[in-house]
């Protein structure tokens, strides 16, 4: 625990000492042009849904997520969704947010990620304090595992009605030719299997489903997810647009570079806003 706290303190000090030569992070638009935090917020407020693609071990990602939430609250009603919570624990999550149960019970029932305390607790506690709704959007991992291990989407047909309520409605539409899914297959190499990609897709589809299910026209739905789930306007966003073409969205992504003063070409068009983080920033875990 002490090591984690020291890591975070070092990261914060690096942010405070953000010189021109040794910046901690820089925000770029999709074309590689630097954008101020203020202009980023102004653009985000015009959205219905915001997908924040984070690196799960990146302190800058988590810090900015909370800062953006605070800024959005100044002019908009918001609710928040998170990949880090599986949909079948929504009742427990809601009870905790309302103060009906304490942290120990919440922790025992929620399968919290190992980095919850350092990376997500500050966000959750802020939302709780300010009565901001928080939604569990991810598929229970045991069902994603079934897709991978037991023959693709057809494995989900065996689920009962209650279990199916925790995933995107069947049948699941799927396009193996989406560039990010094709890239995932190529990275796996000889062990490639469409079912691995389908396990990724069922996560994307389920997160999109719960975003749309809980989305309200008079507010912004701010969603936290790993960058891969929304990079290059695919993943979650592909499923969102499949169900709602009129949705106004913005995406953010996180990348690491040794030199953050110029966005590398491979990171262009990754999202509407790319948070380029100094790769020397310590990881949270």
Q: Nearest 10 degrees: CA dihedral of 233, 235, 240, 242?
A: 90
- For residue 179, how many other CB atoms are within 10 A of its CB? 10
Q: What pLDDT, in 10s, does the model give residues 165-217? A: 999 999 999 999 999 999 998 887 766 688 999 999 999 999 999 999 999 98
Q: Phi/psi of residue 128, each to 5°?
A: -60, -45
Of the options 3.40.50.11550, 2.40.50.430, 3.40.920.10, 3.30.360.10, the CATH number for the domain spanning 37-257 = 3.40.50.11550
Interior angle at CA 240, CA 121 and CA 91, nearest 5: 40
Task: Read off the pTM.
Answer: 0.92
Provide the percentage of residues in the chain whose pLDDT is more than 90: 84
Question: What is the C-alpha to C-alpha distance for residues 111 and 89, in angstroms, rounded to an integer?
Answer: 9
Which residue, 200, 141, 140, is CA-closest to 172?
Answer: 200
What would the pLDDT profile of 74-95 be if each residue is shown by its tens digit? 999 999 999 999 999 999 999 9
In this predicted structure, what is the pLDDT of residue 282? 84
> Is residue 247 a contact partner of residue 219, using CB atoms and an 8 Å limit?
no
What's the pLDDT band for 11 if we cut at 50, 70, 90?
A: low
Q: Scanning the structure block, which residue is given the tokens 């709602």? A: 244
Q: Summarize the confidence of residues 23-32 as an average pLDDT.
A: 96
Q: What does the pLDDT read at residue 186?
A: 85
- Average pLDDT score over the chain: 92
Cβ atoms of 35 and 263 within 8 Å: the answer is no
Rg (CA), the chain: 19
pLDDT at 10 over 50: no
Among 65, 67, 33, smallest CA distance to 52 is for 65
Query: What pLDDT, on a 0 to 100 scale, did the predictor assign at position 52?
Result: 98
Per-residue pLDDT reduced to its tens digit, 40-77: 999 999 999 999 999 999 999 999 999 999 999 999 99
Is the model's pLDDT at 248 over the cut of 90?
Answer: yes
Query: How far is the C-alpha of 160 from the C-alpha of 162, rounded, in Å?
Result: 6
Instruction: Give the integer Cα–Cα distance in Å for 120 and 28.
Output: 25
pLDDT at residue 143, rounded to an integer: 98
How high is the pLDDT of residue 283? Answer: 83
Q: Residue 247 gets which letter from DSSP?
A: -
The residue ranges of every structural domain in the chain are 37-257
Residue with tokens 């969205």: 249
Q: What is the pLDDT of residue 21?
A: 56
- Whether the pLDDT of residue 14 is over 60: the answer is no
């Amino acid at each position: 625990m002490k090591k984690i706290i020291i890591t975070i303190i070092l990261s914060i000090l690096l942010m405070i000492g953000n010189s021109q030569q040794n910046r901690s992070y820089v925000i770029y638009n999709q074309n590689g042009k630097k954008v101020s935090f203020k202009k980023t917020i102004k653009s985000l407020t015009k959205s219905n849904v915001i997908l924040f693609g984070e690196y799960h071990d990146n302190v800058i990602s988590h810090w900015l997520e909370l800062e953006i939430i605070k800024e959005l609250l100044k002019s908009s009603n918001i609710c928040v969704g998170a990949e880090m919570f599986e949909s079948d624990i929504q009742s427990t999550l809601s009870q905790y947010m309302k103060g009906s149960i304490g942290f120990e019970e919440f922790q025992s029932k929620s399968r919290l990620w190992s980095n919850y305390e350092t990376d997500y607790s500050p966000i959750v506690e802020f939302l709780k304090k300010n009565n901001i709704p928080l939604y569990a959007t991810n598929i229970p991992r045991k069902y994603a595992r079934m897709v991978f291990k037991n023959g693709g989407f057809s494995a989900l047909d065996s689920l009962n009605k209650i279990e199916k309520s925790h995933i995107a409605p069947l049948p699941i539409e799927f396009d193996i030719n989406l560039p990010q899914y094709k890239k995932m297959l190529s990275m796996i190499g000889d062990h490639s299997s469409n079912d691995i990609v389908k396990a990724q897709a069922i996560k994307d589809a389920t997160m999109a489903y719960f975003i749309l299910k809980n989305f309200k026209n008079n507010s912004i739905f701010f969603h936290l997810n790993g960058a891969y789930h929304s990079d290059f306007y695919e993943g979650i966003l592909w499923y969102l647009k499949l169900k709602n073409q009129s949705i106004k969205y913005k995406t953010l992504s996180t990348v690491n570079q040794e030199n953050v003063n110029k966005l590398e070409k491979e990171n262009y068009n990754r999202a509407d806003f790319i948070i380029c983080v100094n790769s020397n920033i310590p990881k949270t875990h």
